Structure 1
Amino acid sequence: MLVDSGTIVAIVIVIALAIDIAARILALIFVPKNRRPQTALAWLLAIWFLPYVGIILFLILGRARLPRARRRKQHEINEYILDTTEGFDRVKRDRPWPPWLEPIVELNRTLGSMPLVGGNSAQMWNDNTESLAQMTAAIRAAKKTVHAEFYILLLDDATGDFFDALEDAHARGVVVRVLLDHLGNAQYPGYRRTVKRLNRMGVQWRRMLPFRPLHGQIQRPDLRNHRKLLVVDGTVAFTGSQNVIETGYQRRRNHRRGLHWKDYMARFEGPVVAGIDALFVTDWYSETGELLEREAAPARTTGDGDLDCQVVPSGPGFAGENNLRLFNSLVYAAQRKVILTSPYFVPDDSMLYAITTAAQSGLQVELFVSEIGDQFLVFHAQRSYYEALLRAGVKIWLYAGPTILHSKHLTIDDQISVIGSSNMDMRSFSLDLEISVMVRGEKFLKELRAIEDANRAMSRELTLEEWLSRPVWHRTLDNLARLTAAVQ
């Protein structure tokens, strides 16, 4: 019996409709499982409006988890750190110790395995050129090891001395290990010449989270290692927001607009250096299978500085969103003042509630962001939160363009500072591997407050009246971008 073409077409249509309906129903069942409501809603909208494209994207990008082998290595490192640092979170409590700090220290220890250690000292730089020169000088003084790990690490006119220092260190017998994020770097013009230079230098280097299908390296492409750190001889460590690249990020369009990035870096000495180095060891092990046990072990003696520090790693290798929990806990604990600085501010509901609750409780709450943006969707999603913040009493400072204020730090009362690589957005909370360092110490906080004051002098305050008067199409664009925030 022959079937005419019209019948075949009808059968195909029915099957397609059945698959479409089944996919939508299954999405309602499986997508919300163990996800934030806003993340689940974003994926459901994508699947309902673009079912086939949405399903494919969800299968590729829908789970913010590293491959099983990498999560196993992360667990092994966490167990190792816990075993070798037992009791090292005993800090001298001979100065005023806020009663709310103890549970936050324990939270960080439980989530990230790192102890709070005393006896540390630090310096800080609010200028990219100066901090890069300081890191280069530290490499030139290296005697044993150099561990460099940066989300973006590229050779150009501004970073040439940094690469020369790495090469010179290797030539004189220093063990030089370098980690750079694969897709974070591959998007820039300087990537190929950087790879050639690293190979020619002869240093040990690896791509982090490589996505190279032709080499059998396939994993979720939007999970990135966003950490920035440098450890020299296991005694000196740098971390903060700065990548190793010229301040225009090698983009012609940035140069045409006059855009340049302004960062913050801190240099630590003391027991906390071992904690920062432990993150390098973790990532080196994940990418190479080589566990540098001796270099992972924390310092066994306290230094002579006056800072208490705790390293807080975060990312999809951990079960919880360690950085988000740290930020929220500190904001809720604040008694007088909360000052936040982040180039990309796209909070989830929990963080938005924490910040607005602090402001509505009468605390001084300020947020520093850039007046202009370099990432279209993130910038407009960020702006969609301004009205709620302003109505709650948060002061929003817009750092003047053409500078992108890329610093990432938080200060609480006159007690606690947090610096590191983590933005205050959903990507940094869920998708990116980050490093944060919580610091207790009056001198460090005062210096960071001086940087906040300098940023305030270069910013203008956004008022609610001004914000409500912006064009309707601006509001529409901001609100539409907000729908994508959970999956950016």
Structure 2
Amino acid sequence: MAVGVVDQLEWYHFLIVGLDYVLKFVALGWVPQKRRPSSAMAWLLAIFLIPFIGILLFIMIGSPVVNRRRHKIQMQANALIRDMSSGEPDVPKGLEVTEEQLSMVQLNRELTAMPAVGGTLQKLYSDYAESIREIANAIDEAQHYVNVEIYIMAWDETTDPFFQALARATDRGVEVRLMYDHVGSMKYPESHLLGRKLDRLGIEWYAMLPLKPWRWKFRRPDLRNHRKLVIIDGERAFMGSQNMIDASYLNSGNLKLGRQWVDIMGEFTGPIVSIINSVFAVDWYTESGETLDLIDPSVHAEQLATAKKDTGAELMQLVPSGPGFTTEPNLRLFVSMAHHAKESLQIVSPYFIPEESLLEAVTTAAYRGVKVSLYVSEESDQMMVGHAQASYYEELMESGVEIYQYPAPAVLHTKCAIADGEVAVMGSSNMDMRSFGLNYEITLMTFEGAVMDSLQEIINAYREASLHLDLKEWKNRPWYKQYLDNVFRLTSALQ
């Protein structure tokens, strides 16, 4: 009977089976290349269980080959920045750090070429609408140029002051450059009209990492630019976690629930602004091909001193990261913070899906007596991410990590961390696998000073508003939720 079945098979059946085995054999040696074992195993599982479709998905969203051009540009930019600041010390004169803080500065500089410089926090905004108004006010004071790079951008009632300020700036002859992420913004109302509106204002703009296969622009659809920054005249900069869209993200379901995003944006002056501007310049060149002038931060500091302007009240270091970097600078920074923590480690991340080294660093800190607290949303705005994140809670709490859930319907979108009251970070980067390998992110590291004090006040407010997660109650949650958590934990490794 078996022979009869074989006799009924056509030649192309054997071809398909043979091709499937060949693809799986090739995948065994191809997929693990420069990839974490967990990620490689997840991809191989998909390829082996879903013939042809699995390998097609890997080619589309799993292969690092599509990052080659941007990686080359980033390496060239790093070399330029490293050459410009090669004569500068790791820490500018007049600013002191401990040996442990210095080691973190040196780590970041080695990974990104970015030197530590002086900077001053003018204000850390935790009021969503206020930050947009203040950005608009700053744009109204612009005399030469405004550079904007924000992941999600939509022209709505809340963001109208921002766009009106840009319009007034162009009317004054101020040069405005603007970038937003193509995929990040495309799902929001009238996104297809945003470019036309910007054209009418005379603004030069680009949709970052565009997906336009009909124009032969192929790239990974999950490769996104997640940065949020605004620079005015090279003297003032805003950066943080907030996108340029209404706090409801213009979603009818969110409006019905009263769901709004909770974010922070910092306003900075001093030499740190030139560093933030250099990140914009690299991204602008990548999208437009136009080269913008970069200024050495030490020269910038001298110019500010000569003009009797702010030269920076505290030490700051910018840590850009993304597919253009092969060393995952943000992940190494977060892991280093956890390892250095001796008394306390506070983490705020809406999407906490740690890579193995970060999970071990955080739980090890808790095991050795460090008071570790993690702040997340009670309900995630993304179902798959919410389940994947929840799969880590039991392991974290068993190690001693205290988990606080910011109450629904709000979405806690702030990204920051403080270790021992000595090192603090804030910016656009979540602590999840996408942020470590797929998203272009920007993180600011600071030490004792105004930034840390302001972040601590905000974290204290989050703690007062949040629900403390109980390990015993968590273990007793319904079985189907635990099942979904574990399923989506596996899919989170596909990168």
Question: Normalising by structure 2, what TM-score?
Answer: 0.94
Q: Name the aligned partner's letter for residue 21 of structure 1.
A: Y
| Separation (CA, whole Å) in 2 of partners of 1:82 and 1:122 | 28
Shift of 1:297: 6.6
Counterparts in 2 of 1:410-429, with a 5 A limit?
410-429=417-436
SS for the counterpart of 2:493 is helix
Cα shift readout 1:331-362 (whole Å, capped 9, x = no counterpart)? 10111110000011100110000000000010
Select between 470-479 and 25-34 the one with higher mean Cα deviation: 25-34
Shift of 1:19: 1.8
SS for the counterpart of 1:402 is coil
SS for the counterpart of 1:433 is strand
Using a 3 Å threshold, how does the CA distance of structure 1 residues 357 and 6 change in structure 2: closer, same or farther? closer
Select between 253-262 and 476-485 the one with higher mean Cα deviation: 253-262
Cα shift readout 1:179-229 (whole Å, capped 9, x = no counterpart)? 111111112123123222111111111111111122232222210000000
Cα shift readout 1:216-259 (whole Å, capped 9, x = no counterpart)? 32222210000000000000010000000001111222222221
What's the counterpart of residue 157 of structure 2?
157
SS for the counterpart of 2:237 is strand
Q: Name the aligned partner's letter for residue 412 of structure 1.
A: A
| Separation (CA, whole Å) in 2 of partners of 1:289 and 1:305 | 32
Using a 3 Å threshold, how does the CA distance of structure 1 residues 200 and 297 change in structure 2: closer, same or farther? farther
Using a 3 Å threshold, how does the CA distance of structure 1 residues 66 and 439 change in structure 2: closer, same or farther? farther
Using a 3 Å threshold, how does the CA distance of structure 1 residues 297 and 416 change in structure 2: closer, same or farther? closer
What's the counterpart of residue 252 of structure 1?
252
Using a 3 Å threshold, how does the CA distance of structure 1 residues 120 and 442 change in structure 2: closer, same or farther? closer
What's the counterpart of residue 383 of structure 2?
376
| Separation (CA, whole Å) in 1 of partners of 2:246 and 2:108 | 34
Contact 1:281–1:296 under 8 Å retained in 2: no
Using a 3 Å threshold, how does the CA distance of structure 1 residues 471 and 216 change in structure 2: closer, same or farther? same
What's the counterpart of residue 453 of structure 1?
460
Counterparts in 2 of 1:68-467, with a 5 A limit?
68-91=68-91, 97-294=97-294, 299-301=300-302, 303-467=310-474
Using a 3 Å threshold, how does the CA distance of structure 1 residues 110 and 66 change in structure 2: closer, same or farther? farther
Contact 2:270–2:312 under 8 Å retained in 1: yes
SS for the counterpart of 1:120 is strand
Provide the aligned C-alpha RMSD in A.
Answer: 1.9
What's the counterpart of residue 481 of structure 1?
488
| Separation (CA, whole Å) in 1 of partners of 2:65 and 2:468 | 39
- 1:21 and 2:28 equivalent? no
Using a 3 Å threshold, how does the CA distance of structure 1 residues 103 and 90 change in structure 2: closer, same or farther? closer
| Separation (CA, whole Å) in 2 of partners of 1:116 and 1:128 | 29
| Separation (CA, whole Å) in 1 of partners of 2:128 and 2:229 | 14
Q: Name the aligned partner's letter for residue 175 of structure 1.
A: E
| Separation (CA, whole Å) in 2 of partners of 1:445 and 1:221 | 36
Shift of 1:65: 5.5
| Separation (CA, whole Å) in 1 of partners of 2:88 and 2:424 | 21
Using a 3 Å threshold, how does the CA distance of structure 1 residues 165 and 66 change in structure 2: closer, same or farther? farther
| Separation (CA, whole Å) in 2 of partners of 1:309 and 1:343 | 24
| Separation (CA, whole Å) in 2 of partners of 1:296 and 1:11 | 66
Contact 2:338–2:362 under 8 Å retained in 1: yes
Using a 3 Å threshold, how does the CA distance of structure 1 residues 35 and 456 change in structure 2: closer, same or farther? same
Shift of 1:319: 1.5
| Separation (CA, whole Å) in 1 of partners of 2:35 and 2:258 | 40
Contact 1:281–1:295 under 8 Å retained in 2: no
Shift of 1:91: 3.0
Question: Normalising by structure 1, what TM-score?
Answer: 0.95
Shift of 1:11: 2.5
| Separation (CA, whole Å) in 1 of partners of 2:77 and 2:65 | 17
Q: Name the aligned partner's letter for residue 365 of structure 1.
A: V
Q: Name the aligned partner's letter for residue 445 of structure 2.
A: M
Contact 2:90–2:106 under 8 Å retained in 1: no
Q: Name the aligned partner's letter for residue 347 of structure 2.
A: L
Q: Name the aligned partner's letter for residue 288 of structure 2.
A: T
SS for the counterpart of 2:52 is helix
Select between 24-33 and 62-71 the one with higher mean Cα deviation: 62-71
Q: Name the aligned partner's letter for residue 22 of structure 1.
A: V
Structure 1 ranges of 4+ moved more than 6 A: 93-96
Contact 2:272–2:297 under 8 Å retained in 1: no
Shift of 1:119: 4.8
Select between 203-212 and 428-437 the one with higher mean Cα deviation: 203-212
Shift of 1:300: 3.8
| Separation (CA, whole Å) in 2 of partners of 1:425 and 1:469 | 26
Which ranges in structure 2 are unaligned for 5 or more consecutive residues?
none
SS for the counterpart of 1:107 is helix
SS for the counterpart of 1:328 is helix
Contact 2:238–2:268 under 8 Å retained in 1: yes
Shift of 1:78: 1.2
Shift of 1:9: 3.1
SS for the counterpart of 2:291 is coil
Using a 3 Å threshold, how does the CA distance of structure 1 residues 115 and 477 change in structure 2: closer, same or farther? same
Shift of 1:397: 0.3
Contact 1:336–1:363 under 8 Å retained in 2: yes
Shift of 1:52: 1.0
| Separation (CA, whole Å) in 1 of partners of 2:383 and 2:296 | 40
| Separation (CA, whole Å) in 2 of partners of 1:314 and 1:463 | 35
Cα shift readout 1:66-125 (whole Å, capped 9, x = no counterpart)? 543322221221111112122334535767732212221111111111100125344201
| Separation (CA, whole Å) in 1 of partners of 2:297 and 2:76 | 14
SS for the counterpart of 1:136 is helix
Aligned residue pairs, count: 485
